[in-house]
Amino acid sequence: MNAAVLHAPRDLRYEQVPIPTPGPDEVLVRITTNGLCGSDIHFYREGRLGPFTVSGPYIPGHEACGVVAREAARPGGPREGQRVAIEPGIPCRRCAWCRSGRYNLCPQVVFLSAPPVNGTFAEYVAVAADFAHRLPDSVDDESGAFVEPLSVGVQACTRAGLKAACSVAVIGAGPIGLATMLVALAFGASPVYLVDRLARRLAVGAGLGAAATIDVNAGDPAARLAVLTGGRGGDCVFDASGSSAACACAPAMAARGGSLTIIGWPEKGTFPFPVESIIEKELDIHGTNRYCNAFPRAIALLASGRIDVHPLVSHRFSLDRVAQAFAFAADNPADTIKLMVRTA
Amino acid sequence: MNAAVLHAPRDLRYEQVPIPTPGPDEVLVRITTNGLCGSDIHFYREGRLGPFTVSGPYIPGHEACGVVAREAARPGGPREGQRVAIEPGIPCRRCAWCRSGRYNLCPQVVFLSAPPVNGTFAEYVAVAADFAHRLPDSVDDESGAFVEPLSVGVQACTRAGLKAACSVAVIGAGPIGLATMLVALAFGASPVYLVDRLARRLAVGAGLGAAATIDVNAGDPAARLAVLTGGRGGDCVFDASGSSAACACAPAMAARGGSLTIIGWPEKGTFPFPVESIIEKELDIHGTNRYCNAFPRAIALLASGRIDVHPLVSHRFSLDRVAQAFAFAADNPADTIKLMVRTA
Amino acid sequence: MNAAVLHAPRDLRYEQVPIPTPGPDEVLVRITTNGLCGSDIHFYREGRLGPFTVSGPYIPGHEACGVVAREAARPGGPREGQRVAIEPGIPCRRCAWCRSGRYNLCPQVVFLSAPPVNGTFAEYVAVAADFAHRLPDSVDDESGAFVEPLSVGVQACTRAGLKAACSVAVIGAGPIGLATMLVALAFGASPVYLVDRLARRLAVGAGLGAAATIDVNAGDPAARLAVLTGGRGGDCVFDASGSSAACACAPAMAARGGSLTIIGWPEKGTFPFPVESIIEKELDIHGTNRYCNAFPRAIALLASGRIDVHPLVSHRFSLDRVAQAFAFAADNPADTIKLMVRTA
Amino acid sequence: MNAAVLHAPRDLRYEQVPIPTPGPDEVLVRITTNGLCGSDIHFYREGRLGPFTVSGPYIPGHEACGVVAREAARPGGPREGQRVAIEPGIPCRRCAWCRSGRYNLCPQVVFLSAPPVNGTFAEYVAVAADFAHRLPDSVDDESGAFVEPLSVGVQACTRAGLKAACSVAVIGAGPIGLATMLVALAFGASPVYLVDRLARRLAVGAGLGAAATIDVNAGDPAARLAVLTGGRGGDCVFDASGSSAACACAPAMAARGGSLTIIGWPEKGTFPFPVESIIEKELDIHGTNRYCNAFPRAIALLASGRIDVHPLVSHRFSLDRVAQAFAFAADNPADTIKLMVRTA
């Protein structure tokens, strides 16, 4: 089959590799669409991300949907010909975290595209049958490939304990911040404010339902949010900025008794943080690490028509032009939101 | 001022009564719109409801909005001229329930229109300033009068722990059932199924977002729901039917690990109930009694445009024709959803 | 190996059967101690219980601990020679319930001793390695065999959302009721009231920490509880009586805003139940079906010294006298609490 | 009456002041016992603490119990002659926080001993009747004065969502850390580890139920906790150290999916904090600010005999020697745990 193989930083080749052989509980999925994630770009550009380093030829990608080409032996999973979204983190199913429902914290999780594990930028992928989630006809392929980043938003809103009618501020209007905003709106949040430094992204957010946007270039965003909320702040604040400085400002944006949920890995691991305000306002700070039990919910929200992700797709490529897709995304971060790569 | 005074069953008179004198922490509200509730009709028709009996001239009504005519001495409340929705149950603020946030369970709650306490079918009402909730301009008067029944739905969905993307079945398509469905949709529920015996009401529900409607005349609704949900049942089932028979069928409609929230007072207090299925499916059954901390949330959902209650308003009267409004509602239960009475 | 094989009602034979062959993810456990459960007695006496019928020779028992005789191939499980308590319900690990942490609701769960699946009254049992929970030295064999019924109590108190310092009433002072009381005390409940009709069992409960006992022969238990709690009732009420009549009285014992958790399967599936009080007091009714994620917690509570189950062991037998143990328990229900059967 | 009046740093005088006049909803309490809090010492030594400054003669103290000398006009409160513990923060009862049960976050809370509001080191105090919590006979005066710091522990364990049988690490073995440890044990936590730099305090903690103590002088406490917990870390970590450095180490002590609850105000408001580990381990960080709905629970835990605070009382003074008590505590921080001041 054809696949996108990363040999070295900026050396991504569209080439022939063997079709993977599914295990007894796995399905073989013919991929139709892949989304390009910021982490893919990190591996492409720098050959590493956090604790992971690319040390040999490896296939990136973990935002994918496709069609079941071969179903699993065990009954109950998706059948041949059915369309599925692939949940890329397969846990051990046996540890305390797996058994209590937080399988994303399984110490032995195998995550597609975390090197050296291959990912989904290929014609075929083998994956555990119960991690291939059926897509209804009303959810098209691009939406199917978007289930993964939406699930990050579902996890964040769930971890936040977001209740309908609460006010929300999302810091960071990249794909994850915008996905989180869409999910927050689908959860009934109101109003939702969006914070970023790029006017173009804020404009996209305004078109997707943000009650107001806050440009950090225009002054202290916490002061601006205070004006917008009558001095109260946001009931649930999300930081999807990936910026230590932005994250450190987030507690000031939260209401007394509110919460801050941190999605984006800040560029520094340890940095000055206003712990005092956690105590004074009795805040809850929630970390999120990927997702658990979120894919079916993201699919249901897409199927209901509550969420339309197409406005977030800024560019489209075919799989044979995958090297160009990566190069374009790596070189134009401010101009892209989500790139989609279509296999066939 | 003018008010609707119930002297005896079916003897409702539009007549002059003294304007109430607000206490130091109360506002005087000039009422603009009242919704007519099923409990008002019970008092009108039978002179009693549950533990309450009408024993003297009394003013019904508790679904009201208006304009502040005189503000309270203590600062912080709504100001003169501001539009407000009236939360009609004023608790003691001092008992264990009040202090822990479940003030609807306060044993000393004073509820407007629970005889002998007068209600809101009048030109003026005095109410605790913090129970007069400001309405933004985007929420019109009929919507403001609808905040009360919507709050019943907010309470029910909150008590149910309804999470976005869960499936819902609402039994009973009267005003409370429909309000609950609208709130469930605003909380992100999907899909939502509606169950009733009246085709007319089911048609209204279908137009308001029900994924499918289930006519109980057409066979066992639990069997029908099982077909619609692939055998799983509803994650959250709501019973707003007021029917013991319907309530007893509700556990069969819930998914394993799901919940049943009972809103409508069944006509019998004690009746055969399938307790076994509570255990087998490890269900949660939640009672709801009015609401607490729900009015601001209902207003926010209206203000966000997520909920439009106007399709539920089936008839409109002016206050001087309030006797006709009650008589019409009492005589045409199947033809009415929500009657609105406009003061001026 | 030797095992207790039930051939027909009251025909339990201590006889030779093949040693089970563990699968690749299973351990082989040499059983040291079994507790005798009421459900075992139902199968022994009537050949059936609920949906389960004994249709051929079958080994009962599911409250067992032992020593690992052969460890599993996959690393991470208990090692040869380590002592373990056996969690008897093995789920599929792949369905929505398993993945969200409520694996006890897995539709495909395999439960040791649910006919035709063999149970633990044998010298050896094979079980999934991660369902064989290590016992510390401070937890002796009888306590290890008691982990299973304690886990029912852990599940009940967890489902109830029992918070430390809340008041509790436990209806039913059999082994499960007493185990639930011990767990409630370990969770910090205070005071805990115990309700039963047998003075002997109430006396045991009084010795184990009940603040007061309520004999239902002496009058309405709800009225008595109201006196004891200053009119408030119990924050968390548990029904472990297995009696429809007792279960129907339970809502009257709960405080406004409180909960009722139903553990014992009432002898009737559907019976008159005071649904009205669920609404009026805004109660939560929680069903419990076995347990999930409870064994490690029950073991920790035993290891901490918070719970001592030995006072609940009323009789002891050796495995070769297992037929006598069953006959004695079947014939003397009121005189027995927990019978323990020691293998070696 | 006599009272301890702070005129300037280290100028505390035992002198005559007028008896306060209770309002209509207030009781007058004759104080019997006061505990001396670290914040009292801050005001005594430095004249300020956080945002509060002593700008005139003022009475410190907020850990008090006494006897009702004059009951309130409104029925329902404690009666003359009844013993009560005083909850010192009186909220507005009308804001969104008060109405939703988190009244400790009320922006208008009046806190006894937060200058310029007088506190409890006096013969009489007037306080809202519902904030004077009845003490049963089984709770003696010193325990009654300890209800306030215990309530800090109750709030912390509640905010942490501490479940029975979870493992706990408490950082800081001062009065609040020890109180939190006692409450965690009463909530069923097991095992509980205690971390400090003072061997004397760790020895006290070992005698009160700590499974092990960790001396930070002996090396990295997180590494030591990892050894004790088989690499897992603590399910619930509490920081009661008041040290920024200790607080910054706390996330490393938490298990994947665990929580960190911050009680002690670190000496710096903003400091380097390992935010990355919040994300990686998907932690919850909870701030706590005083308490709400905690006094009745702390009293119930004392009454049940689960908590004995007397080992924490290191020194006792009479009220007329209150100046000596303050001076001793200010000069011997490492040698004191809790000082009690007895009025009569």
Residue-level pLDDT at C267: 86
Closest-approach residue (CA) in chain B for D133: B96
Q: Tell whether the model's pLDDT for residue B265 goes beyond 90.
A: no
The Cα of A305 is separated from the nearest Cα of chain B by a number of Å equal to 10
Residue B51: pLDDT band by 50, 70, 90 thresholds?
Answer: confident
Cβ <8 Å between C284 and B286: yes
Look up residue B55 and give its amino acid: S
Give strand pairing partners of C2: C16
Residue C222: pLDDT band by 50, 70, 90 thresholds?
Answer: very high
Residues of A173-209 as b/e, b for ≥16 C-beta within 10 angstroms?
bbbbbbbbbbbbbbbbbbbbbbbbbbeebbebbeebb
Half-sphere exposure of B246 (CA within 13 A, CB side): 28
Give strand pairing partners of A262: A239, A287
Which residues, 6+ apart, have CB-to-CB distance to C75 below 8 Å? Answer: none
Q: What is the mean pLDDT of chain A?
A: 96
Give strand pairing partners of A101: none
Residue from A187, A291, A299 to probe the interface with B (highest B Cβ count within 10 Å)? A187
Judging contacts by C-beta atoms under 8 Å, the chain B residues touching residue A158 are 163
| DSSP-derived secondary structure letter, C312 | G
Task: Report the neighbours of A using a cutoff of 3 or more CB pairs below 8 angstroms.
Answer: B, C, D
Half-sphere exposure of C68 (CA within 13 A, CB side): 22
The Cα of C151 is separated from the nearest Cα of chain D by a number of Å equal to 12
Judging contacts by C-beta atoms under 8 Å, the chain B residues touching residue C279 are 262-263, 265, 287-289
Residue-level pLDDT at B344: 67
Read off the pLDDT of residues A226-264 as tens digits, 9 standing for 90 and up: 999 999 999 999 999 999 999 999 999 999 999 999 998
Cβ <8 Å between C157 and D165: no
Cβ <8 Å between B103 and D99: yes
The Cα of B21 is separated from the nearest Cα of chain C by a number of Å equal to 32
Q: In whole angstroms, give the CA distance from residue B222 to residue B254.
A: 8
Residue A344: pLDDT band by 50, 70, 90 thresholds?
Answer: low
ipTM: 0.96
Among A163, A190, A297, whose Cβ lies nearest the Cβ of B165? A297
Find out whether D34 and D2 touch, Cβ atoms under 8 Å.
Answer: no
Measuring CA to CA, which residue among A138, A300, A54 is closest to residue B166?
A300
Closest-approach residue (CA) in chain A for B304: A190
Q: Tell whether the model's pLDDT for residue A50 goes beyond 90.
A: no
What are the backbone angles phi and psi of residue D2, rounded to the nearest 5°? -90, 145
* Arithmetic mean of pLDDT, B278-286: 97
User: A-side interface with B, Cβ within 8 Å?
Assistant: 154, 157-158, 163-165, 183, 186-188, 190-191, 296-298, 300-301, 303-304, 306
Read off the pLDDT of residues A268-283 as tens digits, 9 standing for 90 and up: 899 999 999 999 999 9
Judging contacts by C-beta atoms under 8 Å, the chain B residues touching residue A190 are 300-301, 303-304, 306
Measuring CA to CA, which residue among D177, D176, A68 is closest to residue D168?
D177
Residue-level pLDDT at C265: 86
Query: How many pairs of residues across A and C have Cβ atoms under 8 Å apart?
Result: 39
Q: In whole angstroms, give the CA distance from residue D53 to residue B29.
A: 43
Task: Report the neighbours of D using a cutoff of 3 or more CB pairs below 8 angstroms.
Answer: A, B, C
Measuring CA to CA, which residue among B116, B108, B73 is closest to residue B90?
B108
Find out whether B147 and B62 touch, Cβ atoms under 8 Å.
Answer: no
Q: B209 in the Ramachandran plot: left (φ > 0), alpha (ψ -120 to 50) or beta?
A: left
The Cα of D99 is separated from the nearest Cα of chain B by a number of Å equal to 5
Distance of CA B119 to the CA centre of its chain: 15
Q: Tell whether the model's pLDDT for residue C264 goes beyond 80.
A: yes
Residue from A295, A297, A299 to probe the interface with B (highest B Cβ count within 10 Å)? A297
Residue C109: pLDDT band by 50, 70, 90 thresholds?
Answer: very high
Residues of chain C with pLDDT > 90, as a percent, come to 95
**Nearest 5 degrees, angle CA D20-CA D24-CA D27?**
55
Cβ <8 Å between D293 and B130: no
Residues of chain A with pLDDT > 90, as a percent, come to 95
Among A94, A130, A293, whose Cβ lies nearest the Cβ of C94? A130
Residues of chain D with pLDDT > 70, as a percent, come to 100
Among B165, B187, B296, whose Cβ lies nearest the Cβ of A300? B165
Task: Report the neighbours of B using a cutoff of 3 or more CB pairs below 8 angstroms.
Answer: A, C, D
Judging contacts by C-beta atoms under 8 Å, the chain A residues touching residue D263 are 279
Judging contacts by C-beta atoms under 8 Å, the chain D residues touching residue B296 are 96
Which residues, 6+ apart, have CB-to-CB distance to D51 below 8 Å? Answer: none
Q: In whole angstroms, give the CA distance from residue A151 to residue A297.
A: 8
* Arithmetic mean of pLDDT, C209-226: 97
Closest-approach residue (CA) in chain A for B155: A164
The Cα of D116 is separated from the nearest Cα of chain B by a number of Å equal to 22
Judging contacts by C-beta atoms under 8 Å, the chain C residues touching residue D298 are 165
Closest-approach residue (CA) in chain C for A100: C101
Task: Report the neighbours of C using a cutoff of 3 or more CB pairs below 8 angstroms.
Answer: A, B, D
Closest-approach residue (CA) in chain A for B185: A188
SS (H, E, C) chain A: CEEEEEEECCEEEEEECCCCCCCCCEEEEEEEEEEECHHHHHHHHHCEECCEECCCCECCCCEEEEEEEECCCCCCCCCCCCEEEECCEECCCCCHHHHCCCHHHCCCCEECCCCCCCCCCECEEEEEHHHEEECCCCCCHHHHHCHHHHHHHHHHHHHCCCCCCCCEEEECCCHHHHHHHHHHHHCCCCCEEEEECCHHHHHHHHHCCCCEEEEHHHCCHHHHHHHHCCCCCEEEEEECCCCHHHHHHHHHHEEEEEEEEECCCCCCCCEEECHHHHHHCCCEEEECCCCCCCHHHHHHHHHCCCCCCHHHEEEEEEHHHHHHHHHHHHHCHHHCCEEEEECC
Residue-level pLDDT at C239: 98
Measuring CA to CA, which residue among B248, B281, B243, B233 is closest to residue C270?
B248
* Structure tokens given for B154: 């907010």
Q: What is the mean pLDDT of chain C?
A: 96
Closest-approach residue (CA) in chain A for D260: A285
The Cα of A43 is separated from the nearest Cα of chain B by a number of Å equal to 34
Q: Tell whether the model's pLDDT for residue C344 goes beyond 80.
A: no
* Structure tokens given for D150: 């215990």
The Cα of A277 is separated from the nearest Cα of chain C by a number of Å equal to 28
C-beta atoms surrounding C138 within 10 Å: 11
Judging contacts by C-beta atoms under 8 Å, the chain C residues touching residue A76 are 94-95
Read off the pLDDT of residues A88-130 as tens digits, 9 standing for 90 and up: 999 999 999 999 999 999 999 999 999 999 999 999 999 999 9
Cβ <8 Å between B101 and D96: no
What are the backbone angles phi and psi of residue C88, rounded to the nearest 5°? -90, -5
Cβ <8 Å between A96 and C292: no
* Arithmetic mean of pLDDT, D176-185: 98
C-beta atoms surrounding C320 within 10 Å: 12
Q: In whole angstroms, give the CA distance from residue C33 to residue C254.
A: 38
pTM over 0.90: yes
Lowest mean pLDDT among A70-74, C178-182, D265-269: D265-269
Residue from C74, C87, C93, C295 to probe the interface with A (highest A Cβ count within 10 Å)? C93
The Cα of D96 is separated from the nearest Cα of chain C by a number of Å equal to 20
Q: In whole angstroms, give the CA distance from residue C51 to residue A68.
A: 37
Find out whether B42 and B36 touch, Cβ atoms under 8 Å.
Answer: no
Residue-level pLDDT at D264: 84
Residue-level pLDDT at A337: 94
Q: Tell whether the model's pLDDT for residue B38 goes beyond 80.
A: yes
Judging contacts by C-beta atoms under 8 Å, the chain B residues touching residue A186 are 164-165, 188
C-beta atoms surrounding D42 within 10 Å: 17
Residue C121: pLDDT band by 50, 70, 90 thresholds?
Answer: very high
Q: In whole angstroms, give the CA distance from residue C249 to residue C253.
A: 7
Judging contacts by C-beta atoms under 8 Å, the chain A residues touching residue D244 are 275
Residue from D138, D190, D299 to probe the interface with C (highest C Cβ count within 10 Å)? D190
Read off the pLDDT of residues C14-58 as tens digits, 9 standing for 90 and up: 999 999 999 999 999 999 999 999 999 999 999 998 888 999 999
Closest-approach residue (CA) in chain B for C267: B276
Q: In whole angstroms, give the CA distance from residue D240 to residue D254.
A: 15
Q: In whole angstroms, give the CA distance from residue D24 to residue D73.
A: 6
Judging contacts by C-beta atoms under 8 Å, the chain D residues touching residue A276 are 265-266, 268-270
Q: How much is the CA Rg of chain C, to the nearest whole Å?
A: 20
**Nearest 5 degrees, angle CA A168-CA A169-CA A172?**
140
SS3 C94: coil
SS3 B225: helix
Residue-level pLDDT at B266: 87
Hey, which bits of chain D come out as E strands? 2-8, 11-16, 26-36, 48-49, 52-53, 63-70, 83-86, 89-90, 110-111, 124-128, 132-134, 168-171, 192-196, 212-215, 234-239, 254-262, 271-273, 284-287, 313-318, 338-342
Residue-level pLDDT at D31: 98
Residue from A241, A275, A284, A288 to probe the interface with D (highest D Cβ count within 10 Å)? A275
The helices-and-strands tally (H runs, E runs) of chain C is: 11, 20
Hey, which bits of B155-253 come out as E strands? 168-171, 192-196, 212-215, 234-239
Cβ <8 Å between C190 and D164: no
Look up residue C4 and give its amino acid: A
Q: Sign of dihedral through CA atoms C321, C327, C329, C335?
A: negative
SS3 D296: helix
Q: How far is CA C159 from CA B155, B279, C162, C294, D110, in A?
A: 21, 12, 8, 11, 37
Judging contacts by C-beta atoms under 8 Å, the chain B residues touching residue D95 are 76, 130
* Arithmetic mean of pLDDT, B261-282: 94
Cβ <8 Å between B287 and C271: no
**Nearest 5 degrees, angle CA B299-CA B103-CA D133?**
145
Cβ <8 Å between A270 and D276: yes
Q: In whole angstroms, give the CA distance from residue C74 to residue A112.
A: 22
